[in-house]
Structure formats: C-alpha cells, structure tokens
Structure 1
Amino acid sequence: MQHIVIIGNGISGITAARHIRKLSDNKITVISGETDYFFSRTALMYIYMGHMKYEHTKPYEDWFWEKNRIELKKAWVSKVSSEEKKLTFTDGKSIHYDQLIIASGSKYNMFGWPGEDLKGVQGLYSKQDLVLLEENAPDNKICKRAVIVGGGLIGIELAEMLSTRKIPVTFLVREHNFWGNVLPESDAKLINNHILEHHIDLRLGANLKEILPDKNGRVKAAIVEETEEEISCDLVGLTAGVTPNIDFLKGSGIELGKGVKVNRFLETNVKNIYAIGDCAEQQEPVDNRRPVEAVWYTGRMMGEVVAQTICGNKMPYKPGHWFNSAKFFDIEYQTYGWVFSEPRDGEAHFHWKHEDGRKCITINYQKESRKFIGINTFGIRLKHAVIDRWLTEEKTIDEVMANLQQAHFDPEFYKRYEKQIKEQFKTEKKINA
C-alpha cells in the first residue's frame, strides 16, 4: 500500500482523492490550510449575498472523509523535498509520501501597484478573502465606495456582491470593452450596457496607478492612471486575474514555468509527482486551450485522469471541446468551441442580438468550408451535449442553423427567438453570396 499525498482540497485534489479511493486501498492524505473541508469555490459570492451559508457549499457531509478513509490535514506546505519524498509545513512538522499530487490552485494577481498592501485592499479567491471582505465591506456605512480593478469574471462577481449591499462601485477595466480581450465587440458591448444598468460606475480604458493611504494605513482613495482622478474609496478589489500558487515549490527540483510544468499524463519532471488543476501548466497544450486553465470542470477532469494513472491505468488528459459558462448579473453566458474576440484568418462571425439588448448569439465559422467552430450565447441557454456533438461531427454553420431547435434548452428559446435568428442568417447569407 502506497501513501498518496495531495496538496490542495479544491475540486482537483478532492476529485483525485475520491477516484483513487474508488480504485485502490492506498493511504490518502489531503492537505490544505484554507479550510477543514472541501467546498464549492464558485459559491463564495452567494455566501456574501446571503443566498447560502458556508455549510451549504460543502458537497459532502463532514463524516464522508473518515468513512472513505481520506485523511484531512489542515496545514500550509512550505517546502517540498522531492529527493527525500518529504513535505515540510509552516509549523516545522513534516510528512512523507510515496506519490505526490500538487493541486495548490491559484492566487490573485498583484502587479506592484503602490499601496496594494494597505488595509482594505484585497482579492477574492479564498475562503479567507471572503472573511476579509465581510470585515472591509460589511455595509455601505463602513464601505462608502469600492473600486474594483480588472474586468474579468471575478471582478464582475465582486461588483454584483457589493451592489447587493448597496455599496457604490467604480469598476476600472483597462480594455475598451468589458472582457474585450475575450469577447467579440458586439458581445462585450451588451455586457457593458448591462453593467451600467445595474448602476455600476464602469470606466473603460482605465488603469489603476496608485492606492492612497489614510493616517491609519487604510485605503482612502485610488488614482486612475489615464486621468489622475482621485476616487475616494474604502475598499479596492484586485481582480486582474489569477496565477498558479507555486511559490512554495521553488528549490524543490520540480520544473516550474507560469505553473507546474506537466506532460499530457499530468506528470512533472520528477517521478511520482503530478500536478493538476489551476496550478498545472500543460507543456503540450490541446487545440487552442491555454497552457494554464483556471476552470472548475477541467480541474475535475484532471483529478479523474491522474487517479487512473496512479492506480495503474495510465491515461492522458483529453479535455475535449472547450466550453464554459458564467453569469453577468442577470445574464447567463455560455460558450462552446472557439469564438475569439476577432475572427482569425479564414473565419467569420454571425451575430444576432435581440431588441431587448439582453440576449444575443455569436457563431464562429470557417468562410470557405463553412465549418462550425464555436458559439457564444447570452441570455439563451443551449444543450451542451448537442453542441458538443456538432463540434465533434464538424457540422457546417448551415447545418447548425437548420437544426437549431435541437439545441434549445427550454421551449421559450424555440418559440421566441429562433425564427428571428434564422431569418437574419438567411438574409446575411444572401448578401454575402
């Protein structure tokens, strides 16, 4: 029997532990300093908003771990000694392993802004960040205004969270549209308008220059780089992306880049050490996927794959077609396949937008072959299985449009919008013929 040690109790590490237990009688230890038990990180915002309690975010009862012989240790790892197969904790204690899985997740970015270490300046990634947010922004009397820096998914989540407590928000986004480096312009502008509808002070093309302190070392204002405007605030939310949490691995002999470098089997350069989830950097990226993907479902898939390999069924990581989903205040977003902010060589976008300004689709396809490459939807929900099959079967955009009713998730989409979408598509096809 081997001792499998897993650093990190997020979706990646816990999925690996569960599947190793299903496949073997190996001893399993999961280490995390963040929380005692696994919880759904994506639900953090709903705790602050009052929709859920922390205990509601735990997918398993506390007795689950002992019953399944998965030992949980609350500690922070300070050093990995790969030659000795030993982990050292911040309290000086240590543990030995036979095989090690690194699933240490991410940390929010700090780019060296003056004042970024002041009280009242924070990110939103961990359970500790949520506790800190309750201290920094319990209500609109203590926090009279917040400034959020960075126009990604965490930034808009934080804006929604604060707005539920009636805390005014100024949102600094360096791109000329929200998420403009990811979304096509038409999609991004729809979200711009939706953010403004929720009374968020959205500043596009705006960067943070400096955070100013008060006499007690707390934030009192943020300076906008382009205009030198001083915005009085009691909270600065740093949401300009995340990076792998790997500082504790320096000097371990494990090859590092932006993350922990792994091959398609999620193996590092050191035998019997693997990396999965947000902290893993693929040396052989799949399709157009980024080498590091901080995505819930890919972390889960990596956990399943590495468990197979550790238990004797060596398996490569094959994530399949890209997909993701999110929520921008009241608008749900789905993406399948590849829809880039600008069509690439030989590609084109078909875009339809509903007159209410809250629903749209963008389809990416190859001009010559008319092969369907990907689709974005806002305010319209599609069936994952159908779109995934169309991508695998390399359907054309014409076939997709002709069979769009097969993909609708609820009847309202078919009844209300499909006819309009098809009519616009036929009109544009004639014009471009």
Structure 2
Amino acid sequence: MRIVIVGNGIAGITAARHIRKQSDVEIVVISKETDHFFSRTALMYVYMGHQQYHHLKPYEDWFWDKNRINLYRATVENIDFSQKTITLSADSYQVTYTPSLLERLTKVAPKHTNKQAITSKVLTYDKLILATGSVPRMGDWEGQSLSGVQGLYSYQDLELLEKNTAGISKAVIVGGGLIGVELAEMLHTRHIEVTMLVREKSYWSSVLPKEESNLVTKHIQKRGIDLRFNTKLKAIRGQRCVERVETSQGERIDCQLVGLAIGVVPNISFLSSNTTALYLNKGIVVNKYLETNLSDVYAIGDCVEHQQPPEGRKSIEQIWYTGRIMGETVAQTICGNRTAYQPGVFFNSAKFFDLEYQTYGEVPASLPEGVSTFCWQHPTKEVLIRINYDSKSGAVLGFNALGTRLRHAVCEGWIKEKRAIEEVLTNFQQANFDPEFFEKYTLSHTSPSL
C-alpha cells in the first residue's frame, strides 16, 4: 500500500513518522517548499542571526532514508481523486541520502543529500493525506504588486525578506497580530525603523482583554516600534519598488518594505480548480476522524476546516501543536485504529519581543455574560495573570499569563475538572513554571499585590 502525504510541515511529517512506527507501508511525502522538514516557528531566528537554516531541521538528513520515508520535492499540479493519481511538476526530484565512508566510520553527518529526477510525473496512491498548510492572507491594495511587498510564512518568504531588506532603512508592517510582531522584532534587530499599522485601538485588542492589550502595547512601544492605531493601509506607492504608503488617516509614510501580516488562510487554491467532489469551504472540510467526503482522502493541519469542531475549539485553528495532534490522530486511523481528533483544552503561546504570553481555555477580549474574571497585574513589572470563571459555579474557564509561565498540565487539569476559583487561587503556586531564580507569584482575592 502506498500512502502519499502532500505537505512536509509539522502535520504531514508527524503523520509520516507515526505511520512508520506502526506500519511497513510505502510512504511518500511531497513538498514544493523545502527538501526537508524544518521548524517554521524558528524561521525568525535565522534572519536575526541566532541560528542557521540547518539548525531548524529536527532530524538529520539520513533520518528519512533510514525510516523509509520517501521525500519528493515537487509542485502538485493536479489530483485526480477518481483515479487516485497526482500529477507532479516537470522539475520534480526525489531527495535521498548516501552517507560517505567518513560518515560511516565517524557517524558524522555533513550534507550528502542527493537529488534524483523522478521518471514518472504521475504518482498513484492508495491513501492520500492533504497537509498543505496555510499561506499569508493578501489584501487587494493599490501598489501591492510592487517589489518590496511581501508576507512572512514560508522559507521562500524568508529568502525574499533577505533580498528586500538589503540596505533599507524603513519598513511598514500592516497588521497587529503574532506574525506582525515577529516581523517587527526581526527588522528591529537589523536597525530598520518599523511602523506598524494597527486597525484596532490598541495592540491585538480583538483577541486580548483591555489590560493585556495595554501591557503588550506599552512593551512593544518601549522597543522602539512606532504603533499607529485605528489606522488602515489605503495604498502602496512607488515606481517599481515600494517608496511609501498612504493610510486611512491621510498620512504618507516613507518606507522601502511593506510587510503584510493580516493573518493566514488555508492553502487550498490549487484544489479549487479540480473538477472533483472534494468538499471545500474556507478550508478542506473534514469530520472528527479527519476524513474528507472522499474515500481514502484525509486532511490535517492548517488547511483543515472542521465540520463539527471539538468543544471549545474553532473550525479552523492554525496552531503548531494542533497540526502535530492531527498528524498523530490520522496515523492511528490509517493504521487500523480509527481515532477521533481530540485536541483538549485550547492553548497557545507566543512572545511579544521578550514578553512571554500563554493562554488556556476561554479568555476572549470581551467578558461574556455569566462569566467573571480575576485579573492581577504586578505594580512595577510587566507581569499579568487573568483567570476567567463561571459566575454561578465558580468553575475556572481560562487563564492568561503575560511575563510569567504557567504549567500546562496544571492549568488544563483545573479547567477540565472545573475547579473552583477559590481553590485555584489558594493553590496557584502549583501552576508556576518559572525557571529557578525567577520570582514566584501567589494570588488571592484579598491580597492581589505581592
């Protein structure tokens, strides 16, 4: 049996690894982005000079041959679901690894990757896993096609950023989310002046409650980033390259780079032209077993839209760990143990420059009816902890943490077990996950300051 996986991100590669653990079937992974799987969340550190690209690969190049996972570098031009065939681009090749004598003797693994042309451009499959990820959301602004306008998601985007920022002094970032702040930090390390256009009244206020948003806003401004709130991009101006932008506030801001960071969308455009019955909406629609409406076709990761999302989750969630869980889940099903996708309590984490952020459960920007909140903020430090709880029962519903770390298992357990807010506050030190020598925090209703 041949299993073909389209996409070599965290979802696709996790599926390949777990299928190999349980089965001896043939596995083919197709990617047009890179030869090998890499950590997408660490791309920024390559640009900032903290790492080199080869540091981003969790597995050595020999890992794939050893585990008989065939890597194809190719663009998928067409999928015929009725015939179970995939048409690949003319420049397709297979990535293999042949260790040298020195490597065999010393077990040192330098680069000895081979690229072999694929004879047949039509590949058959028995089961297909679509793990095509997401792509930056692009607007429709005048001047968007100018050189110097780009998003940031793929390895190719990183290469383009290197080219677009060579010798420049000013950049404008459109959007106030996690990708936007990462891009701002990257540019800031190269002493490029950064202006961010944020349509909300404070940073990420559509996601963060007021206190958290204000704290993040001040933290970013302290790093020298020019935040323009209640401001939208109107047009991008220049001859062949970006020269300036015009905003909804009537401002003209000189710049040589425009970074579009207005979110990502499922990467499904190449499927839209197929004259098949694959069910597409905003993403590839799947049931709770990650099965599409077509037999032997599955979808996982950022490209997925859940027909019936698990409790407390959204229909589309483009998060690293949900891709990993989906990869593990679909591997179980394909290997004979049909398993439903269960991501557990919602969780996410990020950094705003050096301000750490964690969220668990349900902590929306505006407090819903029937929900109360406990919010503690350090009087002098950039530290904030919020706990939402049911107004009647007192059961905790969610946590936010800024400037401090909480233990995942403890917070998830308290939410799952519907622990009362009084009990959680009394035992809050159990959730503290700060490294040794970091200050630890205790909370109570009566003495919130430390």
Alignment of 1:102-181 (within 5 A): 102-138=130-166, 142-181=167-206
1:427, distance to aligned residue in structure 2 (A): 5.9
Taking the aligned partners of 1:267 and 1:416, their CA distance within structure 2 comes to 45
Aligned partners of 1:408 and 1:414 also within 8 Å: no
- TM-score for the superposition, normalised by structure 1: 0.94
Letter of the 1:87 partner, please give it.
Answer: I
The share of aligned pairs that are identical, in percent, is 54
What is residue 345 of structure 1 aligned with on the other side? 369
CA drift of 1:412 comes to 6.8
SS in 1 for 2:446: helix
Q: State the alpha-carbon separation in 2 of the partners of residues 8 and 54 from structure 1.
A: 19
Query: 1:201-229 CA deviation, whole Å, 9 max, x = no partner?
Result: 00111111111122xx111111111x121
Deviation at 1:278, TM superposition (A): 0.1
Q: Deviations over 1:171-209 (max 9, x none)?
A: 011111111111101100000000100010001111111
Q: Is the counterpart of residue 79 in structure 1 residue 101 in structure 2?
A: no
The answer to whether the 8 A contact 1:262-1:283 is kept is yes
Which of 309, 329, 332 matches 1:305?
329
Secondary structure, aligned partner of 1:426: coil
Contact 1:359–1:379 under 8 Å retained in 2? yes
Contact 2:388 2:399 in 1 (8 A): yes
Which deviates more from structure 2 when the two are superposed, residues 97-106 or residues 111-120? 111-120
Match of 1:219 among 242, 252, 257: 242
Aligned length: 417
Distance 1:411 1:144 in 2: 38
- Partner AA of 2:446 in structure 1: K
Residues 266-415 of structure 1: pairs in structure 2 closer than 5 A: 266-410=290-434
Question: Distance in 2 between the 1:411 and 1:131 partners?
Answer: 35
- Cα distance in 2 between the residues matched to 1:163 and 1:237: 13
Structure 1 counterpart of 2:148, one-letter code? G
- Runs ≥4 residues deviating over 6 A: 411-414
Which residue number corresponds to residue 50 of structure 1? Answer: 49
Distance in 1 of aligned mates of 2:427 and 2:260: 43
The worse-fitting range, judged by mean Cα deviation, of 61-70 and 248-257 is 248-257
Match of 1:431? none
Q: Deviations over 1:219-242 (max 9, x none)?
A: 1111111x1211110000000000
Give the match for residue 9 of structure 2.
Answer: 10
Match of 2:254 among 205, 209, 232: 232
* 1:254 equivalent in structure 2: 278
State the 1:53 CA deviation. Answer: 0.5
* Matched residue type, 2:153: Y
My pick for the range that moved more, 123-132 or 357-366, is: 357-366
TM-score, normalization by structure 2: 0.91
Tell me what 1:26 maps to.
25
Tell me how far 1:89 sits from its aligned partner. 2.1
In the other structure, the counterpart of 1:184 is 209
Asked if 2 retains the 8 angstrom alpha-carbon contact of 1:405 and 1:414, the reply is no
Does the alignment pair 1:242 with 2:264?
yes
Give the superposition deviation at 1:413: 8.9
CA displacement at 1:356 relative to structure 2 = 2.6
Q: Could you list the per-position Cα deviations for residues 50-80 of structure 1 after superposition, in whole angstroms to 9, with x for gaps in the alignment?
A: 0110000000000000000000000111211
5+ long unaligned stretches in structure 2: 92-120
Partner-residue secondary structure (3-state), 1:156: helix
The 2-side partners of 1:57 and 1:416 are apart by: 32
Which one-letter code corresponds to 1:426 in the other structure?
Answer: T
Map of 1:88 onto structure 2: 87
Is the Cα–Cα contact under 8 Å of residues 380 and 413 in structure 1 kept in the other structure? no
User: 1:382 offset after TM fit, Å?
Assistant: 1.0
Distance 2:65 2:415 in 1: 42
Query: What code does the residue aligned with 1:148 have?
Result: I
Deviation at 1:357, TM superposition (A): 4.4
Contact 2:434 2:440 in 1 (8 A): no
